[in-house]
Amino acid sequence: MYKKKVTTLGLSIWFACAFFYALEYFVRSSTGALLDGFTEEPYNLTLAATAMFSSSFYWSYIISQIPAGILVDKFGIKRVMIVSSAIFSVAMLIATLAHNESMLLTYRVLAGFGGGFAILCAIKAIAIWLPNRLFPAFTGLTQFVLYVGATLSAAPLVFLARHLSISQIMALIFIISVILLLVSIFIIRVHPDYSKQNMQNEQKTSSLKDIVTVFKNKQIWFNGLYCFTIYGTTVLFADLWGIKYLQLTGFSQANAGYCTSLIFIGVAISSPIWGAIASIFDGEKKFLLITPIFGFFIVTYLLFFNTSFPVAVILCILFGAVQAVHVLNYSALRNTVSATQIATGLAVVNMFLPLSGGILQPATGALITHLKQSHETLYAFQSTLIIIPILMILSFVIALFIKDSNN
């Protein structure tokens, strides 16, 4: 009964969760646009320190994924949204008051942990509040809302940072997060047909045996590593270093922010297109193989040869389109794990996305800081960001070992 038609309440609950997903991604990706501010008073951070505190978001996000699925299933969307948005609000309050590295680190850890529940709540809301036939459409809409938040964390945030301090920007996000908390308390409801008895009768899919089987499946590791490498390209460029790097090559801060925004727009537009193409051609492997080859030339030209803003606009959209191919790793899993293990398999693959940020951001930050001691800043960035085309090559190599879902 509760899934036969779309209701205003169901849409409202889904949107609240999807909005939380977009908000946490906005915060996750905001460091790149605010990078210059963190190197000035009152923070005075080095690039290495900035990369380190930025990456802490990803590590706490990863940790939150371990219990998140169990907690959402056990306690429902309402309770989890209240607690997670409250944690997120506390994080933003700390960010508003922060004046040193330890406070910034605390804010990122709490924001990553609280925000890690958003995507699961959004998917759960679709599953129990909306008709089954709309599940793919609203899953796609959730991704679209996510990348709206990501896009706002680039050029629009650069513009906002011209007029407001980092503390004032964080205060605005804190107010928004408190409003989200109030929505979770007063608008989100426990579904009347989704009782404790129903939850207890659901098939259990996360037994120890299933988890062990999933971890022994080589295909899951190949899918995850592919996500790590190709998603890692935008974790480095769009999320953190892109705006600063493009400024060093002669772009204005506004144009640099605009370009990185277009990477997210490219991802948002291309994700459903890749899914449709893979469905038409009944397979993912050929696209997982071909795309990083194009990606290698796109990012190499963008990073080391291009000085034209119009060309950079096109390249950044294509950059996003290339990264978006990682979504095919989810459908490639369909026939490599059993139906009772698919959720666990997807969770393992999905964890490689934030893992790329947790590893690559501090590593590149440390390398840039080291190279700056004896070289020009532009040289330090160029020497470090050569890892981006290398990650494209690694994606191609990993794709050689991935099986199609139709095999």
- List CB contacts of 368: < 8 A, sequence separation 6 or more: 47, 48, 51, 241, 380, 381, 384
pLDDT at 135: 72
Q: In angstroms, rounded to a whole number, what is the distance separating the alpha carbons of residues 129 and 139? A: 13
Query: How far does Cα 237 stand from its chain's mean position?
Result: 13
Q: How far apart are CA 407 and CA 405, in angstroms?
A: 6
Cβ(329)–Cβ(226) under 8 Å? yes
Alpha-helical segments (H) within 217-252: 218-236, 242-248
Would you state the pLDDT for residue 335?
Answer: 67
Per-residue pLDDT at 197: 46
What's the pTM value of the predicted model, to 2 decimals?
A: 0.83
Write phi, then psi, for 405 (nearest 5 degrees): -70, -20
Domains of the chain: 1-190 (1.20.1250.20), 206-407 (1.20.1250.20)
Could you give the C-alpha distances from 217 to 211, 245, 337, in angstroms and in order? 10, 39, 8
Longest pairwise C-alpha distance within the chain: 68
DSSP 402: P
Quote the pLDDT of residue 249. Answer: 96
pLDDT for res 205: 46
Which residues of the chain have a pLDDT value below 70?
Answer: 1-4, 136, 193-210, 334-335, 338-344, 405-407
pLDDT of residue 3: 64
Neighbours of 23 (CB within 10 A): 24
Write out the two tokens for 239.
Answer: 């999320």
The pLDDT value given to residue 194: 56
